Amino acid sequence: MATVVIVDDPIRLGHRSWLSKVRGRGWWGWVAVLVLIGAFAVAGGLISPYDHTQQVPREKFLSPLESGSRGLHVFGTDELGRDVLSQVIAGARLTLFIAMAATLIGASIGCLLGMLAGYLGGWVDRVVMRLTEAQTAMPMFLVALLLLSSLGPSVWNLIAILPTYIWPTFARLIRGETLRMRSAAFVEAAVTIGCRTRTVLARHLLPNLASRVGVLLAISTGQVILSEAGLSFIGAGVQDPDVTWGLLISGGRTYLTVAWWPTVFPGLFAGLTVFALNGLARRFTETGAR
Amino acid sequence: MAATTLPPEPTVAPDGAVPVPRRKRRRKRLALNRLRDGLIVLFLVLTAIFLLGAVVGDPAESLAPPEATQEQVDRIRSNLGLDRPLVAQAGEYYSGLVRGDLGESLVIARNQPALPLVVERLPSTIRLTIAGLLFSVLLGVVPGIVAGVRPGSLVDRVGTFLATAGVSFPYFWFGQILILVVAVQLKWVSVLPGNDVSAYLLPGITLGIHHGGRLFQLVRSATLDELDKSYVTVAQSKGLGYYAVVLRHILRNIGVVLATMVGWEYARMWGGTVFLIEFTFAWPGIGKLVTEAAQRHDFHVVQAGVVVAGIFVVVANLVVDVMSAAIDKRVEVS
């Protein structure tokens, strides 16, 4: 019923199918990268050539494409003779898990606060906006260091801290969009037939924000991947038995002058993932509702 | 059509005194409003830092040796004043902030006040951020304008690609690659931090790749938005050359916006990137100090670092906001 009303509304958003928005050259390449990385994360040990924890001390620092007793090492081996390609594949799972979990938590907080601020207005709006500004003004890298050094570095603490990096972006965007739509005919219609505020927000506003939220989800996931990599890089994030790309970059740092491959390949994959997410997000916005 | 909506001219009072134009007063009020908001945000940030510290920052447990008894841990705690009620601790924190006293270093430099340790490193970090800002402007703003006025051109497409790469790949990883290629392989510059100008080159460029990439994207779309404005059409239709339109009209109109964007990126550096770059390049600034302090659970030093960085972020944002409100006549009171 609401749909019929939206058609007349000048500010309809997220109405066309998402596929029509990504039409155009180039987007399939990014999707392919993400599918590959996703396959790494899901299949993990099934597609990795060797066990990523297996150490062969005699075969340390084999160059990329060099063969050892186990066979070909496409990305070479590290200081303990572990296969770098297998490590990169193993790192995908935890990297993506942390990034997606933290992004979803942050997006939920941001969407909820943003919708409340935009829809209710008044003091709620002012409080949420000040909180958003304060959060944005926090030097989050150092704050995360402070928290992680006190709480102890762990995957769950990372997932608890990383959402604070991104929720303000969601809150600000959703607040603006909600403000624009608050007086739209379909919202007024919903209120008139007696919908509760909760229903208006969840059933009528949220679906109309979906495309914007989708774009921001992609960008934010990339941001979280980079933040997690940074924290793991300095040793405050993920710890040794676990593997993420950030931790792998950090591990190769000591031996950078001896061997570049244990550092370069994990960073390359982290960057490619974020690049694909950003590229896809840009494709969405450029051909989207604007 | 527009004539009816023009604001009334300021009337001259009967005694001949010209009243302050309303628009000017409004701008002053806007600037003051933003100053007030900025101070509220600063207060919120400092409070949040205190609360986070109070909730999680019990250094007593991590400072005590593993075999310490509960009584010994309690004694450390009461020595640090951590057993007192939260309100009392908060009072001490705020009065300490005003006096510039943020507790003592517990590990790194035993019993030395924490804040001077951080402030000592401040000039080094500030110089690095300025180098980073220069490279960001060089790599981001100038190509961003060129790409924005010629959308779809080669510069635009290559620039957009590089800028997206710049913001997507981990910047500390770029830093490592730069160290490896430029300093170790080619031996063009030394990576030892010193007073030499060349020491700023690699960390500065690394910061520039990341923040310049973001600036490029922002500046490009800001410039692109101007192209559709009617003043550009007017300027072109009266026969003004392409460069004259860009230099005399577009640049002037987006000048304040550009300055705002550059200011925001500077604040973002203090939000985290510069500290990670310091760690990567072993730069003797706040970031290196605080990461070391964090690894050794030196709580007060980390907290002092967070406070100093937070003040820089807020003040940088505040300066940008107040200035754009004071300069740009188009900014409205909201």
Q: Please determine, for residue B80, whether its predicted confidence score (pLDDT) is greater than 80.
A: no
Q: B23 falls in which pLDDT band (50, 70, 90)? A: low
Q: How many Å apart are CA B47 and CA B62, to the nearest integer?
A: 24
pTM of the prediction? 0.85
- Predicted local distance difference test score (pLDDT) of residue A174: 93
Residue B67 one-letter amino acid: E
Q: CA neighbours within 13 Å on the CB side: how many for B13? A: 7
What ipTM does this complex have?
A: 0.83
End-to-end alpha carbon distance in chain A: 25
Residue A139 is nearest to which of B171, B177, B272, comparing CB atoms? Answer: B272
Distance (Å) from the C-alpha of residue B192 to the closest C-alpha of chain A?
15
Residues of B in contact with A279 (CB under 8 A): 164
- Predicted local distance difference test score (pLDDT) of residue A169: 93
Q: CA neighbours within 13 Å on the CB side: how many for A144? A: 35
Q: Is A90 exposed, middle or buried (0-12, 13-18, 19+ CB in 10 A)?
A: buried
Chain centroid to CA B257: how far?
16
- Predicted local distance difference test score (pLDDT) of residue A12: 39
Query: Using a CB cutoff of 8 Å and minimum separation of 24, what contacts does B153-156 make?
Result: B156/B220
Cα torsion through A262, A266, A271, A276, rounded to 10: 140
Query: What is the chain A residue with the closest CA to B271?
Result: A139
- Considering only residues A3 and B154, tell me which one the structure prediction assigns the higher pLDDT: B154
Cα torsion through A55, A61, A65, A69, rounded to 10: -40
Q: How many Å apart are CA B237 and CA A244, to the nearest integer?
A: 57
Q: How many residues does chain A have?
A: 290
| Highest mean pLDDT: which range of B8-17, B85-94, B199-208 | B199-208
Q: Please determine, for residue A1, whether its predicted confidence score (pLDDT) is greater than 60.
A: no
Q: What are A253-273's pLDDT values in tens digits?
A: 888 888 888 999 999 999 999
Tokens representing B208? 């520039």
Q: Is B313 exposed, middle or buried (0-12, 13-18, 19+ CB in 10 A)?
A: buried
- Considering only residues B324 and A249, tell me which one the structure prediction assigns the higher pLDDT: A249
CB atoms within 10 A of CB B225: 12
Q: Please determine, for residue A124, whether its predicted confidence score (pLDDT) is greater than 80.
A: yes
Q: What is the mean pLDDT of residues A235-250?
A: 88
Distance (Å) from the C-alpha of residue A229 to the closest C-alpha of chain B?
8
Q: B191 falls in which pLDDT band (50, 70, 90)? A: low
| Highest mean pLDDT: which range of A89-103, A242-256, B55-69 | A89-103
Q: How many Å apart are CA A162 and CA A110, to the nearest integer?
A: 13
Q: Please determine, for residue B334, whether its predicted confidence score (pLDDT) is greater than 50.
A: no
Chain centroid to CA A103: how far?
5
Tokens representing B297? 């659970």
Q: A154 falls in which pLDDT band (50, 70, 90)? A: confident
- Predicted local distance difference test score (pLDDT) of residue A168: 94
Q: B8 falls in which pLDDT band (50, 70, 90)? A: low
Residues of A in contact with B304 (CB under 8 A): none
Query: What is the chain B residue with the closest CA to A222?
Result: B168
- Predicted local distance difference test score (pLDDT) of residue B89: 82
Lowest mean pLDDT among A220-224, B80-84, B110-114: B80-84
Contact A274, A33 (CB under 8 A): no
Residue identified by tokens 């005194």 is B17
- Predicted local distance difference test score (pLDDT) of residue B229: 83
Share of residues in chain A with pLDDT > 70 (%) = 89
Q: A107 falls in which pLDDT band (50, 70, 90)? A: very high
CB atoms within 10 A of CB A258: 11
